[in-house]
Structure 1
Amino acid sequence: MTSGDSFLRDFATLSAFGATERGGVHREAASEADEAQRRWFEQLLAGRGFTVRYDRIGNQFGLRETVPGAPYVLVGSHLDSQPRGGRYDGAYGVLAAAHAVHRVAGTGGTALNLAVVNWFNEEGSRFTPSMFGSAVFTGALDLDTARDTTDPAGVRVGDRLAAMGQTGTEAPVLADVAAYAEIHIEQGRVLEETGTTIGLVADTWAARKYDLRVLGDQSHTGSTPMADRQDALLGAAHLVVAARALADELSTPDAPLHTSVSRMAVEPNSPVTVAREAVLNLDLRSPDEDLLARADATLHERIPAIERTARVGIEVAGAQRWGVRPFPEAGVELARRAADELGLSHRRISTVAGHDSVHLNAHVPTVMLFVPSVDGISHNEAELTRDDDALAGVELLTAVVRRLAAGEPAGG
């Protein structure tokens, strides 16, 4: 069996955990499907000579230590998925990391130790915020706060991880990491439309994310006069429209703005009751920080009018933000040289989506790579990356890890 056949076989096995009838996967963080795949991945790593460790937030590490006392080249992504999501998002990068590190460790002669990581709850669909495990790892999210986070059913992160037996204290910490590398599907159409195999990620778009609470007053949908209603859902609907209007009004070809409302919880969510509360996630992203700041200011300027129109109050319950973050140019150049040696077409590209690499990039030299997504589809059961592109990505990641493990600089 060739190395490519081995990867595709393992990926097929991985894709069976939480598989949906339409070819996707449903395995939110710490679900039964996620727990099962993490146990399978632990066995795969152990069977190939890795020492498996977990940290206190459930990040899963596979260690290959050959240089006592040396730091690690850390490589990985995440195995959890969105509800009824695609089988490539995150999972491809974790498995590619395992294969790349195994190949490099098998050749010997590295100056640094090697480690694979499966970050806990990157998607943020069950426990918020997203990029959860890497945020704790890098200090962007307090450990105790993270462990006390609950899902909509009241299940606490710390309790669920304890029940899974997937926490520990002997895993690497940020100070042990010399460099980080991650490969991911693009989740866009640039590579496919330009006939390019590899995206060399040069920067990430800026983002501002808000959890907004719309506060109204519960009443009867039939008998309450329209003038008396304080409908939280109506206020939330105005926010949805306002978010889209910002993108329509402010985007330009050179400075796009992406906006969305991606989740909403309504109380009491009864068919005959005007909603007393709606909680929603509102997301603004752009490669232009000035445009993003203008959109953000405009949004907040329009909130008082929405409150008056719907007779509701609107509160900011939580916020996440980051600016445009370049990845180290030395890492982009390292990956470019490796791609050239392998004869793989490549281009510089930005990431619009957030990734665990965004957190790591603020602290250690970080290399981020993309492979094509068919039709740009992601967070959808139809998500697809062709086998030849997936295998090319594994080959490139292996070459990048080999260079990093030899001590080649990727930034500073």
Structure 2
Amino acid sequence: MNSAAFLTDFHHVATIGATANNGVDRQAATAEDALTREWFAAWVQDAGWELRVDGIGNMFGLLEWVPGAPHIIIGSHLDSQPLGGRFDGAYGVIAALHAARRLDAEVAEGAELPQFNLAVVNWFNEEGGRFAPSIMGSSVYAGLLDREKMLAVGDLQGTTVREALAGIGYLGTAEAPDAAGYAEIHIEQGRILEREGINIGLVDSSWYTQKLDIEVLGEQSHTGATAMADRHDALVAASKIILMVHDVTKDFADEAIVSSVGQLTLEPNSPIVVARRVHLVADLRSGDPDIVKAARAKLLKDIDVLAREHDIKVNVKDFDIRPIRRFPEAGLELADKVAANLGLSARRIQTMAGHDSVAMNTVAPSVMLFIPSVDGVSHCEREFTTDADMVAGVDMLTGIARELVAGALAETPAPSAAALA
């Protein structure tokens, strides 16, 4: 198993869209994202596999050992957040490419023919930094989001997904492969594995997520000529809402819920004009849906009071609600077995963040794996995972993929609605 080749590829991809402080900036369907896509395409073609790009920009490298058989899909995403880390997503794609090449070599050398074929995927717009919502490409694949609606989504400059993908040459027309199963490996983006000295996290469920689209409408006026008593400042009101979103977590047990406002735009955004409109997105997440619902209810009540106090209007809409999804028990047991055979320590873990595996888990039995993150830091340039942990993860993903193509979860259905909390 050539770990050096994997590390060479990983550290090369980290130079694409590299930032000054060892991060990357490769937002979906930008020129930088296009460069990683070209790298992926060249890698797949050099390996002798079929390359497909579907109608939402997902890229697949297909290995066909059994004509007509469905595929086990492995991979992640190559897009990043603005000034993001070089490990998030990209590690999972590059690990999948190398795991697939190892298995392809085994078959070529006479190993027993697998039950299923294999495909490596680079999902479009997992991050959602440029186009909302996140986890877009895999959710379209899984039928959770409508492709035409997603192609019409615009960024802050008004460019649509359709225009952006066409502009970089990756608005495909190919049919995506059918999935008999899915596996993804990712950095933890938390500190549990590092703190406990565990090699591999076996993800058993995702957190409940609720986002709020909030529009604050005030009145535009002159910052110098308008008396303070006569102002209807949308930005002042929005700043108080941001603090409400932050402080609502204090009503619950420590670490029971997380909240943030990560995006804010204002109009007219002039230094001598009182803001007339502010748009922001609030993000609430918990392992208990009732906690999120209680936090949402409190925010709606407090925002209503604030609007009346400031004599402004605030429109709040529910946005991007994601239920808890539980990963198949058979997949967790399989992953535990593979880790033990490799001499790797493992434990079950929840994911607070969203991943493509959460969407894929609705249509195919899926396995989600974590490797440690140093200091639990992610979505920033300081994000870091050691070479040793990455290499161990490639071995782990290879072992999982080997079992999946052999039919290990062939009788395991994807979780139904009854599996949702």
CA contact (8 A) 1:229 1:311 kept: no
Alignment of 1:272-291 (within 5 A): 272-291=272-291
CA contact (8 A) 1:105 1:114 kept: no
User: Per-residue deviation at 1:105?
Assistant: 2.3
CA contact (8 A) 2:267 2:277 kept: yes
- 3-state DSSP class of the match of 1:325? coil
Query: Residue in 1 aligned with 2:215?
Result: 213
- Supply the RMSD in Å over aligned alpha carbons: 1.2
User: Per-residue deviation at 1:106?
Assistant: 2.2
1:131 maps to 2:141: no
Residue identity opposite 2:225 in structure 1: S
User: Per-residue deviation at 1:244?
Assistant: 1.2
Query: Residue in 2 aligned with 1:44?
Result: 43
User: Per-residue deviation at 1:68?
Assistant: 1.2
User: Per-residue deviation at 1:363?
Assistant: 1.8
Query: Residue in 2 aligned with 1:329?
Result: 329
Residue identity opposite 2:249 in structure 1: A
Kindly provide the CA deviation profile for residues 191-236 of structure 1, in whole angstroms up to 9, marking residues without a partner as x.
0000001000010111101221111110111221222211111121
Residue identity opposite 1:180 in structure 2: Y
- 3-state DSSP class of the match of 2:245? helix
User: Per-residue deviation at 1:318?
Assistant: 5.4
1:163 maps to 2:161: no
User: Per-residue deviation at 1:81?
Assistant: 0.5
Residue identity opposite 1:214 in structure 2: V
Residue identity opposite 1:23 in structure 2: N
Residue identity opposite 1:135 in structure 2: S
Deviates more, 1:218-227 or 1:199-208: 218-227
User: Per-residue deviation at 1:348?
Assistant: 0.5
CA contact (8 A) 2:31 2:168 kept: no
Residue identity opposite 1:191 in structure 2: L
Query: Residue in 1 aligned with 2:80?
Result: 81
1:402 maps to 2:414: no
Query: Residue in 1 aligned with 2:55?
Result: 56
Residue identity opposite 2:287 in structure 1: P
Query: Residue in 2 aligned with 1:357?
Result: 357
- 3-state DSSP class of the match of 1:203? strand
Residue identity opposite 1:102 in structure 2: R
- 3-state DSSP class of the match of 1:326? coil
Q: List, as ranges, runs of 4+ consecutive aligned residues in structure 1 with deviation greater than 4 Å.
A: none
Query: Residue in 1 aligned with 2:416?
Result: none
CA contact (8 A) 1:198 1:371 kept: yes
1:122 maps to 2:126: yes
Paired with 2:312 and 2:64, the residues of 1 have a C-alpha distance of 58
Residue identity opposite 1:305 in structure 2: V
Residue identity opposite 1:184 in structure 2: H
Kindly provide the CA deviation profile for residues 244-287 of structure 1, in whole angstroms up to 9, marking residues without a partner as x.
1111122x14x611010001001011111111111111000001
1:238 maps to 2:231: no
User: Per-residue deviation at 1:407?
Assistant: 0.3
Paired with 1:57 and 1:265, the residues of 2 have a C-alpha distance of 27
CA contact (8 A) 2:182 2:360 kept: yes
Q: Percent identity?
A: 48
Paired with 1:193 and 1:14, the residues of 2 have a C-alpha distance of 28
User: Per-residue deviation at 1:239?
Assistant: 1.1
User: Per-residue deviation at 1:311?
Assistant: 2.1
Q: How many residues matched?
A: 407
